[in-house]
A and B are shown apart, each in its own frame.
Chain A
Amino acid sequence: MFVLVSYDVSTTDKAGRRRLRRVAKVCKNYGQRVQFSVFECLVDPAQWTVMRQQLVDEIDPETDSLRFYYLGSNWKRRVEHVGAKPGVDQEGLLLV
C-alpha cells in the first residue's frame, strides 16, 4: 500500500531539532522524500505498523504533528506532480 506521511516538528529548542532529524530518518528508511517534510512510502501492512509506531514514539504530541494519508494500492491515479523535484516511481524501472 501507499502512504503519504507529512510531519511538522517544532524546532524552537535543541530537543525539537533532534526529534525532527530522527523523524526524517525513520521516514527515509521506509519511503522516498518528495518534499522537505513529506514522504511517500510504499509499504506492506506489517511494515506500516512498525513504521507508524516508530514515528509516534519519536514525536512530542504537545508540539509536533504527523499526518498520514492512505492512498491504497491503486495510488497512481491519485498522485500528480507539477514542477521541480520529481519523485522516482519505486515500482517502475530503477536505473541510474
Chain B
Amino acid sequence: MKKHLNTLFVTTQGAWLAKEGETVAVKVGGKVRLQLPIHTLDGIVCFGQVSCSPFLMGFCAERDVCISFLTENGRFLARVQGPVSGNVLLRREQYRWADDPERSAAIARAVIIGKLVNSRKVLHRVVRDHPDKVDTVSVKQAMDRLKAILMHVRVGTSLDRLRGYEGEGAMIYFRVFDHLILNRKKEFFFEGRSRRPPLDRVNCLLSFFYTLLMHDVRSALECTGLDPAVGFLHRDRPGRPGLALDLMEEFRPYFADRLALSLVNLGQVKSKGFRKAETGAVLMDDDTRKAVLVAYQKRKQDVVTHPFLQKKMPIGLLFHTQALLLARHVRGDLDGYPVFCWQ
C-alpha cells in the first residue's frame, strides 16, 4: 500500500523551487533554504509568488508528486500534471459510468449518505460533549431532519433529486453550524456559508481547508488512476475536478469542519489574525495561515480505524484508501462504494 508521505508548503514570497539531483531545493534569494529528497514528498503546495523550474515539474510528474499553485490566500490557481498515465481501462469504465445515469446515481447516493451521516455525527458529538453550552433543541432538530433526508436518499432516486437532498442537507447543517462555535462568539460567528470571497472568519477557515483537502483528494485519485475531472454527483465543467469534489464530500464535515471548529474553540486562531479587504472578503495573515497549516498537517497524522477495512491508518491515508476503494468498485471488484462513515 502507498505510504502516506509529507506535503511541502512554500509560503515564502519570491521562493524558487528547483530540481537538484533527485532532490527538491527551495531557494530564497539564491540561497538554498531547504533541500529534500523527492521520495519523502507526496505533494508540493505553493502559495502566491513562488516559481518552479520546468525540470522540477517534469520530475515531480514522473514521481507522482503533485504540485499545486494557490494564491496567497489559498485560492486554487493551477496544478502541474505530467503525461497522462494510469489505467486506461479504468478511466474508460469511469467515463462509461459517468454517462450512465443509474450508475452515477448509485455512487452519488453513497457519497451523499457519507456526507449526511458525517454531518449528523459532527452535530451529535457536540450535543453529547457540551450539552450545557449549545442550543441542544435546535441542533437535535437539525439532526432529526438530516435523518429524515437520509431515509429519502437511501431509496432509489434520480440524480437531480439526490442533488436536491444534498443541498437541503447542507443547508440544515450549516444553519446550526453557528451553535457549534463554543467560544468567543463575538469574533467567530457563522451566518451562512459564503465563498468567493468568504465573508467571515469561520468561512475563511472553511474555504482554506476545503482547498487543501481538494489538493489531497485530487492527488489521491490521480494516484489510483481515476480521472479527477469526471464526477458522478458533480457534473463535468471545464476546470472543475468533479470526482475530487465527489470524494471530498464525505470528508468535509469529518475532517475540515471539525478542524476549523476545534481551532476556533480551542483558541488556536486569534481574531486578530484575520483582516477584512475592501471587497468584504476576510483574509488570514501569515502567522495564522502557518498555524492553520500546522494544524492541518498534524491532523492528517492522527490514526483512526478505517470502518470498512478495519485497519488502523493515519487520516491522511484515508483519502488514498477511499480513492482505491472507489477504483475497485468501478473496476468491478467491489459491489458498491463503501463510503467513509465516521464512527
Interface stretch (choices A10-18, A24-32, A60-68): A24-32
Tell whether A93 pairs with B3 under 8 Å between CB atoms, given A30-B39, A88-B34: no
Counting CB contacts under 8 A, is A37 at the interface? Answer: no
Chain A residues with Cβ below 8 Å from B35 are: 28, 32-33
Which residues of chain A are near B6, meaning CB under 8 Å? 90-92, 94
A96 touching B40, Cβ below 8 Å: no
The answer for the CA separation of A47 and B3 in the assembled complex, in Å, is 14
Confirm or deny: A38 has a beta carbon within 8 angstroms of a beta carbon on chain B: no
Tell me whether A93 and B293 are in contact in the complex, defined as CB-CB below 8 angstroms, given that A25-B21, A47-B39 are known contacts: yes
Residues of B close to A47: CB separation below 8 A: 39
Nearest to A90 among chain B residues (CB) is B40
A8 within 8 A of B: no
With a cutoff of 8 Å between Cβ atoms, the chain A residues found around residue B172 in the complex are none
Query: Does B10 sit within 8 A of A, measured CB to CB?
Result: yes
Q: In the bound complex, what is the Cα–Cα distance between A44 and B10 (angstroms)?
A: 26
Instruction: Say yes or no for A71: interface residue by CB 8 A criterion.
Output: no
Please measure, in the bound complex, the distance between the C-alpha atom of A47 and the C-alpha atom of B8, giving whole angstroms.
21
Determine the chain B residues whose CB is within 8 A of the CB of A93 once the complex forms: 9, 293-294, 297-298
Q: How many residues of B contact A (CB 8 A)?
A: 28
Would you call A42 and B40 a contact (CB within 8 A)? Answer: yes
Whether a CB of chain B sits under 8 angstroms from the CB of A95 is: yes
Q: Is the CB of B290 within 8 A of A95?
A: yes
Rounded to whole Å, the gap between the CB of A5 and the closest CB of chain B is: 13
Chain B residues whose CB sits within 8 angstroms of the CB of A4 once the complex forms: none
Cβ B7 vs Cβ A94 within 8 A? yes
Closest to A89 in B: B6
Residues of A within 8 A of B33 (CB): 96
B26, A96: Cβ atoms under 8 Å? Answer: yes
In the complex, which residues 21-44 of chain B have their Cβ closer than 8 Å to any Cβ of chain A?
21-23, 26, 28, 33-37, 39-41
* Cβ-based interface call for A43 (8 A): yes
CA distance A95 to B298 in the complex (A): 13
Q: Are A32 and B39 in contact (CB under 8 A)?
A: no
7 shortest A-B CB distances, which residue pairs?
A29-B22, A94-B8, A95-B9, A93-B297, A96-B26, A90-B40, A29-B21
